[in-house]
Amino acid sequence: MNEEIKNIILNKLGIANANPEMQEAMLEQAGTLIYQGALIRAMENMRDEEVIELEKLTNENATPEQVLAFMKSKVENFEKIIAEEAETFVSKANGIMSQIGEK
């Protein structure tokens, strides 16, 4: 996850001043959800052959970095999709937090 997205998540969720261990745990969980959402969205725009290639890659236990590099090579605006998914995650998380706070 790039620094810009990390900062968005930390600041918008209000955990920028939390201890580093908590920040890292939250970023890891958020990153997984954001990454999965971005993959799903990107796959909707990929050709069938590219999806099959991605499936082979993941079945071969590719690292997240390898999958990310593949996605960037196949989906022109993949970085933008990740940023949008990060914003969506933050928005949903804030909505949940506000509902919890209201009760």
CA distance 34 to 67: 14
Q: How far apart are CA 62 and CA 2, in angstroms?
A: 20
| pLDDT tens-digit series, residues 41-71 | 999 989 999 999 999 999 998 988 899 899 9
**Considering only CA atoms, which of 32, 34, 49 is closest in space to residue 85?**
34
pTM of the predicted model as reported, rounded to 2 decimal places = 0.77
Reported as a single tens digit per residue, the pLDDT across 23-46 is 888 888 888 888 899 999 999 989
